[in-house]
A and B are shown apart, each in its own frame.
Chain A
Amino acid sequence: MPSSIVCQNLCFDYEYDDEAPVEVLKNVSVEIKEGEFVALVGKNGCGKSTLAKHFNAILLPKSGRVLIDGMDTTDEDSVIKIREKVGLVLQNPDNQIVATIVEEDVAFGPENLGIPPLEIRERVDWALKAVGMYEFRESAPHKLSGGQKQRVAVASVIAMRPKFIILDEPTAMLDPRGRSEVMDCITSLNKDYGLSIVLITHNMDEAALADRIIAMEDGRIVMDAPPDEVFTHIEAIRALGLDVPPVTQLAFDLRKNGIDMPQDILHVNQCVRAVLRHLQPVEGGADIFGNDKY
């Protein structure tokens, strides 16, 4: 049976001592299947991180249920199994690295699971290779760049051999290079290793890489569709306080100005092709696309 994360009518509020509790998740129902690459988007404070923490029993529902492979997160006996299946990577890589040596940190999770030493070694080497950090295995974490640290954090989670990895804004604190390093690593884990990904992000270019986008507003799921469908509703996305990828915006603006552009443009190369269709090839001019005929 394929693995899945299922939320049924999930409600949650943070308790405050002096004030009335504020509802953060309101009747959320969603299912994430094995192998999917899901992007979770929404304005600041709409409850994305709160939802993510329900997926591996860090937070427990007020009402409703969260089931991981059929195991209820409120069942104390299955918490460890659930966390083994669903790994969570946080925003700040500095705060989630435990050990003073990269490979020791990656070993931390498997060590907690009580796995025999030789198998831990195998898993650590595999995880570090999967994120491209194998040659840094003996480095001290504080000597790595932000993107490298975040990849170590990812390796530390996949060393537990999870089915799902939840990443809560993993690129928010990184420079453009670190971002693309981490995004390449995430997409490769999904495509080459078959891991399911839930990526929380504010960056729509990153969200466009997913197979499915879930948009949240004020504790509710308001949109759940593949990226090409989601980004055709540009006004609706705007209304949620979100952006669309810049190329999608460009195509939209061109369309508004009467230039015929397809609705499902998400990536730069698609946009370039669409624009080139409108340009007349000049006799003897440079052929931009090499052998490609337009």
Chain B
Amino acid sequence: MDITFGQYYPSKSPVHRLDPRVKLIFVLVYIVTIFLGTSFVGLGLCTAFLITAVIISRLPVRLFAKAIKPILPIIIFTAIINLFYAGGDPLFYIFSIAVTKQGVLTSLLVVVRIILLIAGSSMLTFTTTPTSLTDGLERLLSPLTVFRLKVHELAMMMTIALRFIPTLTEETDKIMNAQKARGADIDSGGLFKRVKALVPVFIPLLVSSFRRAFDLAVAMECRCYTGGEGRTRMKIFKLRCADYLALGIMIVLLASVIVINFVLGLV
């Protein structure tokens, strides 16, 4: 079981090796670009870009299918709503409700956009370990400490959570088995009964988590932890050629979509 690495798909592709800060900014800008790109040409460009990125990152396509599957009902629902509410010239009628040409177009646009959104942000989690994601986030947000935002503390909390998820999962298994050995019936019955049966699992888990937290606090104090102030980091984050290239591509993509939409006014 490998919960720690969540969605991460290990590989040594150029996309995997990009600086996490660059990837974070890229995804953010990419999302903005998708929202700006209200035309098919603009979105087509975004799609072409995403496909190229997927190919470079050597990720299997089924990963993306899996990421999109859970939100399929939402996609279908928004598509149907947009189909009927766009107004314009009726193409044909379903149950005497007009389906317009504009309706078909907007719902198509919306579907493409949602899929691009999900696939694009999944790229980030597929190609970046949670650890470097947390690291990147901490370093990107560190200027915000000026506004008294507890960036370091936030990142520390995320790291500790990531660190303890496998430990606590293992412990949950142990407690469940211990309770089963005492005759607890955890796996059968209705929803309510099952939730109730989990109480004797969660209470010992809670108690032990507190004990662990106390120990961890002592261990951190022993290692001179006093918060983020005056702390240095071992890992040096340095942008490489590939990172600058990625940032360049990002700017070109954003600019082209803006030009296509607002200057040329293409549909």
Q: Given A92-B215, A96-B215, A101-B131 in contact, is the A83-B221 Cβ separation under 8 Å?
A: yes
A104 to B215, CA, bound (A): 19
A53 to B236, CA, bound (A): 34
- Report the stretch among B69-77, B157-165, B258-266 that lies at the interface: B157-165
Closest-by-CB residue of A relative to B220 is: A98
A92 to B215, CA, bound (A): 8
When each residue 38-63 of chain A gets 1 if its CB lies under 8 Å from chain B and 0 otherwise, what string results? 00000000000000010010100000
A175 to B225, CA, bound (A): 31
Whether A80 and B226, one on each chain, are in contact in the complex, defined by CB atoms closer than 8 angstroms, is yes
Whether B219 and A95, one on each chain, are in contact in the complex, defined by CB atoms closer than 8 angstroms, is yes
A112 to B167, CA, bound (A): 25
Whether B216 and A98, one on each chain, are in contact in the complex, defined by CB atoms closer than 8 angstroms, is yes
Whether B222 and A87, one on each chain, are in contact in the complex, defined by CB atoms closer than 8 angstroms, is yes
A260 interface hit (Cβ, 8 Å)? no
Residues of B within 8 A of A170 (CB): none
Whether A114 and B232, one on each chain, are in contact in the complex, defined by CB atoms closer than 8 angstroms, is yes
Whether A111 and B233, one on each chain, are in contact in the complex, defined by CB atoms closer than 8 angstroms, is yes
Residues of A within 8 A of B231 (CB): 111-112, 114
A66 interface hit (Cβ, 8 Å)? no
Whether B223 and A156, one on each chain, are in contact in the complex, defined by CB atoms closer than 8 angstroms, is yes
Whether A117 and B223, one on each chain, are in contact in the complex, defined by CB atoms closer than 8 angstroms, is no
A92 to B216, CA, bound (A): 10
Interface residues of B in 203-219 (CB under 8 A from A): 211-212, 215-216, 218-219
A97 to B166, CA, bound (A): 13
A209 interface hit (Cβ, 8 Å)? no
B146 interface hit (Cβ, 8 Å)? no
Residues of B within 8 A of A254 (CB): none
Residues of A within 8 A of B226 (CB): 80, 112
Q: Given A117-B232, A142-B166 in contact, is the A112-B223 Cβ separation under 8 Å?
A: yes
Interface residues of A in 76-111 (CB under 8 A from B): 80, 83-84, 87-88, 90, 92, 94-101, 103-104, 107-111
Whether B225 and A108, one on each chain, are in contact in the complex, defined by CB atoms closer than 8 angstroms, is yes
Whether A58 and B223, one on each chain, are in contact in the complex, defined by CB atoms closer than 8 angstroms, is no
Whether A115 and B232, one on each chain, are in contact in the complex, defined by CB atoms closer than 8 angstroms, is yes
Q: Is the interface of B mostly helix, strand, loop or mixed?
A: helix
A156 to B236, CA, bound (A): 19
Residues of A within 8 A of B212 (CB): 92, 94-95
Q: Is the interface of A mostly helix, strand, loop or mixed?
A: helix
A99 to B130, CA, bound (A): 12
Q: How many residues of A contact B (CB 8 A)?
A: 41
Nearest CB of chain B from residue A162's CB, rounded to whole Å: 10
B4 interface hit (Cβ, 8 Å)? yes
Whether B224 and A142, one on each chain, are in contact in the complex, defined by CB atoms closer than 8 angstroms, is no
Q: Given A96-B216, A101-B131, A142-B166 in contact, is the A58-B222 Cβ separation under 8 Å?
A: yes
B94 interface hit (Cβ, 8 Å)? no
Nearest CB of chain A from residue B158's CB, rounded to whole Å: 10
A113 to B230, CA, bound (A): 8
- A141 contacts which of B163, B216, B220, B222 (Cβ < 8 Å)? B163
A124 interface hit (Cβ, 8 Å)? yes
Residues of B within 8 A of A230 (CB): none
When each residue 197-218 of chain A gets 1 if its CB lies under 8 Å from chain B and 0 otherwise, what string results? 0000000000000000000000
A173 interface hit (Cβ, 8 Å)? no
B234 interface hit (Cβ, 8 Å)? yes
Nearest CB of chain A from residue B142's CB, rounded to whole Å: 14
Binding site for B on A (CB under 8 A): 53, 56, 58, 80, 83-84, 87-88, 90, 92, 94-101, 103-104, 107-117, 120-121, 124, 140-142, 153, 156-157, 160
Binding site for A on B (CB under 8 A): 4, 130-131, 159-160, 162-163, 166-167, 170, 211-212, 215-216, 218-226, 230-236
30 contacts between A and B (CB under 8 A): A56-B222, A80-B224, A83-B221, A90-B215, A92-B212, A95-B212, A97-B163, A98-B219, A98-B223, A99-B131, A100-B159, A101-B131, A104-B234, A104-B235, A108-B223, A110-B232, A112-B224, A112-B226, A112-B231, A113-B224, A114-B231, A115-B232, A117-B232, A117-B236, A120-B233, A141-B163, A142-B166, A142-B170, A157-B222, A157-B223
With A120-B233, A141-B163 known, 4 other A-B pairs at CB within 8 A are: A80-B224, A88-B222, A95-B212, A117-B235
8 smallest beta-carbon distances between A and B, as pairs:
A96-B219, A95-B215, A109-B223, A107-B234, A142-B166, A120-B234, A112-B224, A88-B222
